[in-house]
């Protein structure tokens, strides 16, 4: 089931990506509405991160196209923010928390220009939003995994973008950080921003996302979570390989969706 959207903020058409002539994404067609918090779910190797990277122009397309706000990425890049996986970052790079967050303003101030007062204030405000303002002078290598993820989110927030792509922002973080992140994402949505998240925890999908994209090399389904996130489509997406699948199916039947902070 693939629900098309009128005037989507993101439109992906016939997107195919291949590595060494082997397709890792095949014929993806989807659209996402403004203000959605969309979760991309699927098994390991399904192409979830590749989908985000291809949308961001970080991976070459074999075919198809992507439009954001009905334009090419390069035309709207300042309105787009990307949070990569924490594991893909060199955390030994000598920079303070504040320096990393201020990097989110570079697209607005230019790489070789001095930050303005407004840029500094935006960075400090973002750090306060994620509860990391007291750590602004600390080296990023001295932070825990959850703290590093909060800093990454703060850097994205300073961009003041209209659409945010996040690759596994909840991976390896504590329950308090996860709760803080989802509260920020919901506030972004309330402000009319769109958030698209690669996610692996099926038990929190119905709580966190109002839109879901189910992926396994091909697009299985895309649409409102209450319509798309069904046992049948989960089985089609995961091929019955998840031991968690039957447990999630039972929870769905009972209408129970436990979140980490309740455990």
What is the full DSSP assignment across 168-220?
STTTT--HHHHHHHHHHHHHHHHTT-EEEEE---GGGHHHH-SEEEEEESEEE
User: Higher confidence at residue 87 or residue 22?
Assistant: 22
70 pLDDT more than 80:
yes
- Both tokens assigned to 6: 């009128």
- Domain presence at residue 77: no
Q: Which of 102, 137, 161 is the last residue of a domain?
A: 161
Partnered with residue 179 across adjacent β-strands are: none
Partnered with residue 96 across adjacent β-strands are: 139
Mean pLDDT of the chain: 86
Q: Which residue segment(s) compose the domain that 9 sits in?
A: 1-69+162-256
Lowest mean pLDDT across 88-97, 98-107, 235-244: 235-244
pLDDT at 12: 96
225, 54 Cβ separation under 8 angstroms: no
| Whether 196 and 128 share a structural domain | no
Phi, psi of 60 (to 5 degrees): -70, 140
The vertex-154 CA angle with 150 and 159, nearest 5°, equals 155
189 pLDDT more than 90:
yes
Round to whole Å and give the CA distance between 68 and 63: 17
49, 27 Cβ separation under 8 angstroms: no
Residue with structure tokens 């930050």?
Answer: 115
pLDDT at 145: 83
pLDDT at 88: 67
243 pLDDT more than 70:
no
| Whether 250 and 230 share a structural domain | yes
As a whole-number percent, the residues of the chain with pLDDT over 70 amount to 87
| Whether 41 and 94 share a structural domain | no
DSSP 69: T
The vertex-9 CA angle with 66 and 107, nearest 5°, equals 80
Among 29, 24, 27, 22, CA closest to 4: 29
254 pLDDT more than 70:
no
| Whether 153 and 166 share a structural domain | no
216, 18 Cβ separation under 8 angstroms: no
User: Higher confidence at residue 172 or residue 71?
Assistant: 71
- Domain presence at residue 76: no
Round to whole Å and give the CA distance between 83 and 8: 21
Say if strands 10-19 and 63-68 run parallel, antiparallel, or are unpaired.
antiparallel
CATH of the domain at 224: 3.40.50.300
- Region 96-121: mean pLDDT is 79
| pLDDT tens readout for residues 125-179 | 999 989 899 999 999 888 888 888 889 899 999 988 999 999 998 888 888 888 8
Number of domains in the chain: 2
- Region 35-62: mean pLDDT is 94
| pLDDT tens readout for residues 207-229 | 999 999 999 999 999 999 999 99
pLDDT at 107: 67
- Both tokens assigned to 241: 């390989």
pLDDT band at 252, cuts 50/70/90? low
164, 181 Cβ separation under 8 angstroms: no
| Whether 193 and 168 share a structural domain | yes
136, 124 Cβ separation under 8 angstroms: yes
pLDDT at 112: 56
pLDDT at 221: 95
Residue with structure tokens 């390069």?
Answer: 74
Round to whole Å and give the CA distance between 107 and 11: 24
- Domain presence at residue 114: yes
pLDDT at 245: 47
User: Higher confidence at residue 51 or residue 20?
Assistant: 51
pLDDT band at 261, cuts 50/70/90? very low
């Amino acid at each position: 089931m693939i629900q098309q959207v009128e005037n989507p903020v993101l439109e992906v058409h016939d997107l195919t990506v291949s590595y060494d002539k082997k397709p890792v994404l095949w014929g993806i067609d989807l659209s996402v509405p403004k203000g959605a918090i969309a979760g991309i779910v699927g098994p390991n190797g399904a192409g979830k991160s590749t989908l985000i990277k291809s949308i961001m122009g970080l991976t070459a397309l074999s075919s198809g196209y992507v439009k954001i706000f009905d334009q090419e990425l390069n035309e709207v890049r300042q309105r787009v923010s990307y949070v990569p996986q924490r594991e893909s970052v060199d955390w030994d790079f000598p920079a303070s928390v504040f320096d990393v967050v201020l990097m989110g303003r570079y697209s607005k101030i230019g790489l070789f220009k001095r930050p303005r007062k407004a840029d500094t204030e935006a960075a400090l405000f973002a750090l306060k939003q994620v509860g990391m303002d007291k750590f602004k002078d600390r080296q990023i290598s001295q932070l825990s995994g959850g703290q590093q993820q909060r800093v990454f989110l703060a850097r994205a927030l300073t961009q003041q973008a209209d659409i945010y792509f996040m690759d596994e922002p909840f991976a390896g973080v504590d329950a308090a950080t996860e709760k803080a992140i989802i509260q920020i994402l919901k506030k972004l949505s309330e402000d009319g921003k769109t958030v698209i998240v690669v996610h692996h925890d099926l038990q929190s999908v119905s709580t966190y996302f109002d839109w879901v994209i189910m992926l396994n090399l091909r697009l299985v389904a895309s649409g409102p979570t209450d319509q798309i996130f069904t046992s049948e489509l989960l089985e089609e997406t995961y091929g019955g390989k998840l031991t968690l699948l039957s447990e999630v199916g039972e929870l769905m039947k009972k209408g129970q969706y436990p979140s980490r902070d309740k455990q």
